[in-house]
Amino acid sequence: MSTQTQTQAITLSGSRKRWLKDRIAQIGVTAGGILVLVALLLIFLYLLYVVKPIFDPVRVEPGVEFSLLDKAAPTQALSKTVLLGVEEQNELVYRFDDAGHVSFYSLPQQGELIHSLNIGHEVTSVARSSNNMVAYGLAEGGVMLLAPKFTVSYPDNIRTIEPQVTFPFGEQALVVDEQGQTLTQLSVASQDQDLLVAAMTASGKGLLTRFAGKENFMTGELELNRTQVELPGLPGDVEQLLLTPNLRFLFARSANEVYVFDVRNLNKVVLRNVLTMNAKGANISDLSVLSGGNSLLVANDNGKISQWFEVARDGKREFTFIRDFTAEGGVTQIASEINRKGFITASSNGSVDIFHTTGGSRLFSAPLASSAVSALALSPRNSMLLMQSGDKVVTFHVENDHPEVTMKALWTKVWYEGYPEPQYVWQSTSGSSDFESKLSLVPISFGTLKAAFYALLFAVPIAIAGAVYTAYFMSSGLRKVVKPTVEIMEALPTVILGFLAGLWLAPLIENHLPGMVILLVMLPLSILLMAFAWHHAPKSLRDLVPDGWQCIILLPLVVLVGWLSFALSPWVENLLFGGNARNFLTNELGIGFDQRNSLVVGIAMGFAVIPTIFSIAEDAVFSVPRHLTNGSLALGATTWQTLTRVVMLTASPGIFSAVMMGLGRAVGETMIVLMATGNTPVMDLSVFSGMRTLAANIAVEMPEAEVNSSHYRVLFLAAFVLFIFTFLFNTVAEFVRQRLRDKYSSM
């Protein structure tokens, strides 16, 4: 074989190997890109999978139906139902009527009557409390209180539930009216071992009686200390009395007027207000309270239900109309959910509606009965609805796990109990059992953008200016040192930056606030003055510094200005701010100051973002073809003109990409904002206030969130919103970058 033939064979073999390597690399890169896209899509779908249930509609499905006439005791006539309910396992139904009869029915046995009781007294009035206790007003002026109780046992590993009737305050009637008058209206509420009874007698007198319970440590019996006052200013035609479960207020309804009494101190019962609460063109049909007892629900015969609670205005707290709801027909029954801020209504036409007050929304509406509903109740877990129509009791299985989460509650202002006005609030947990979760995503989304804004405000000028100087003016020898040094800063763990920002930088800024302001103003001014002085310095002096090394002379200046700013801080603070700049901001200017604030976050997060922006921007400027700069200079343009009109425009796609990469990094940052802010979800643009971001909120609250709860799923929704933020930013960045490239690529 000739030498030429051997050379051709070797060349052909090398070409095949090169082609094979190129194909493998192409396939590998393509597969990697596809896998990245698939991973992003899977993350997107998983977030949607977890979030979706909070927006599912309420489902109500029929369950067991049984007749009270068929299952009642032979001697018991069907009287009006006072309390209808079911125990926690949704197996045993209980019913208290207005004649003093108590009955228990088994749902697994299709409504079989399994236990009944008759109190054996003549009943003249009856009332129920929010904790499933029934009070019977007796003809001789006494009150007897009963409550259902269930005992769960597991003989032979089979769950057995035994019903019984208890007497929380003794089996003997409690004396309310010492003169023995008949009680015509009644309301009771209990808290711990204390009982409060509001009653109207046949003579029209209103009585308020407190029974303070104390357990005898010798006998274990409950001893009651009775205190009674007469209610002042009551009208003569009271139609309904209602005590709040927290023993704070008594509502007395007379026609469409509601008398509000403050009953916290029996020695000083005060008539707070007389309010007309009926809807326009309608009459009040019923009063009820939401779980926790802070909100009053007023039902009207035209289907309107209004919510009222105390609001502080002008130094006074008054019950104020908050919002209203509309049911499909005149409301005859209203029942509140247990431990949630929702309620359910039944209308005269048999329609049932489910509402939730936080989002001001109607979640369900359907005609579930063919005639008027006489009793309505929800199970303790809000998973079963019981409804009596005529002599029939029907149960419904309810799927309504996340009623408090609606688009309105997530993204608009909501008027929460105890707040003076509608607000954006994120407060997911509390130590109170009456707490209402506040899950607005607006404050933490705002905090995310605020943190990113202040970080970029600090980082972008420094990073881009540094990148331009390094790539365009700095000598190659110095650039080989500076560029890797800045880039290696990116490897610094953000938890270290957050630690230093929270424990060192934040107190430093607080104690030297005037010095920090002086530094932010004087440092750029001193650099400009130094540049001006250097420009007019003798040429012999300027020749001492090699071209491209002039930035070195700024290092002593930066150190000197920094030291001088903090040294002058106490003197300026004493001279201008009375020795305490923080108090001056708060008391004189009305600007709140948090030690861990946006200024701290901006500096710390900006320090973390600078390497990303610097590296990409510096590469973009350095990659501008030399023939463009040489041609501009050859045509007579100055170095500065060449930079601003040629280099910067050509490098603008890369510089813009650098800024957007920095924005994406700032939006997703977790540890710095977690450690360098107070994690307060407030809506305040002030540089001296803190914030809470989406990422930090997820990191803080996800470990303590109950799996599959509303809180848990909303945190996943926050992650989804963060995902959308970064996706939109990257999409806009790529779009603008391509437009810039198309515009300046022909230069």
| Mean pLDDT, rounded, for 694-706 | 90
Amino acid letter, residue 672: I
Q: Is 681 exposed, middle or buried (0-12, 13-18, 19+ CB in 10 A)?
A: buried
The whole-angstrom separation of Cα 228 and Cα 197 is: 9
Written as one string, the DSSP assignment of 657-714 is HHHHHHHHHHHH--HHHHHHS---------TTS----HHHHHHHHGGGSPTTSHHHHH
The whole-angstrom separation of Cα 128 and Cα 186 is: 9
| pTM score of the predicted model | 0.86
Say whether pLDDT at 199 is over 60: yes
Q: Which residues contact 400 (CB under 8 A, 6 or more apart)?
A: 58, 59, 342, 354, 363, 364, 382
Q: Would you say 612 and 490 are in contact if contact means Cβ atoms under 8 Å apart?
A: yes
Q: Would you say 610 and 465 are in contact if contact means Cβ atoms under 8 Å apart?
A: no
Say whether pLDDT at 417 is over 80: yes
Tokens, residue 587: 């008391």
Q: In what order do the strands lie in the sheet with 240-243?
A: 240-243, 249-254, 257-262, 270-276
Q: Would you say 515 and 568 are in contact if contact means Cβ atoms under 8 Å apart?
A: yes
pLDDT at 354: 94
pLDDT category, 413, cuts 50, 70, 90? very high
Tokens, residue 150: 């269930």
Written as one string, the DSSP assignment of 41-80 is HHHHHHHHHHHGGGGPPPEEEEEEEEEHHHHS-TT-----
pLDDT category, 307, cuts 50, 70, 90? very high
Residues in the chain: 747
pLDDT at 297: 94
Say whether pLDDT at 430 is over 80: no
Top mean-pLDDT range of 47-56, 121-130, 662-671: 47-56
Written as one string, the DSSP assignment of 30-44 is HHHHHHHHHHHHHHH
Q: Measuring CA to CA, which residue among 276, 295, 370 is closest to residue 334?
A: 295
Quick: pLDDT tens for 524-565: 899 889 888 888 888 888 778 888 788 888 888 899 998 999
Task: List C-alpha distances in Å: 511 to 406, 561, 567, 579, 716.
Answer: 44, 18, 12, 11, 39
Quick: pLDDT tens for 711-722: 999 999 999 999
pLDDT at 536: 84
Least-confidence region, from 93-97, 119-123, 733-737: 733-737
Say whether pLDDT at 220 is over 70: no
CA–chain centroid gap for 742, Å, is 44
Beta partners for residue 60, in sequence order? 398
Q: Rounded mean pLDDT of the chain? A: 87
Query: Is 398 in a helix, a strand, or coil?
Result: strand
The whole-angstrom separation of Cα 379 and Cα 392 is: 18
Least-confidence region, from 7-21, 268-282, 343-357, 430-444: 7-21
Q: Measuring CA to CA, which residue among 681, 684, 55, 696 is closest to residue 409?
A: 55
pLDDT at 718: 93
| Mean pLDDT, rounded, for 327-351 | 89
pLDDT at 106: 92
pLDDT at 72: 46
Q: Which residues contact 270 (CB under 8 A, 6 or more apart)?
A: 261, 262
Q: Which residues contact 120 (CB under 8 A, 6 or more apart)?
A: 100
Percent of all residues in the chain with a pLDDT value above 70, rounded to a whole number = 95
| Mean pLDDT, rounded, for 159-164 | 90
The whole-angstrom separation of Cα 80 and Cα 713 is: 42
pLDDT at 378: 92
| Domain ranges (residues) in the chain | 442-744
One-letter-per-residue 3-state SS of 118-150: ECCCCEEEEEECCCCCEEEEECCCEEEEEEEEE
pLDDT category, 291, cuts 50, 70, 90? confident
| Mean pLDDT, rounded, for 371-382 | 89
pLDDT at 540: 81
Q: Would you say 242 and 127 are in contact if contact means Cβ atoms under 8 Å apart?
A: no
Task: List C-alpha distances in Å: 42 to 115, 351, 610, 725.
Answer: 55, 43, 31, 17
pLDDT at 431: 65
Please state which architecture CATH assigns to domain 442-744.
Answer: Orthogonal Bundle (1.10)
Least-confidence region, from 234-238, 366-370, 494-498: 234-238
Quick: pLDDT tens for 5-18: 666 665 666 677 78
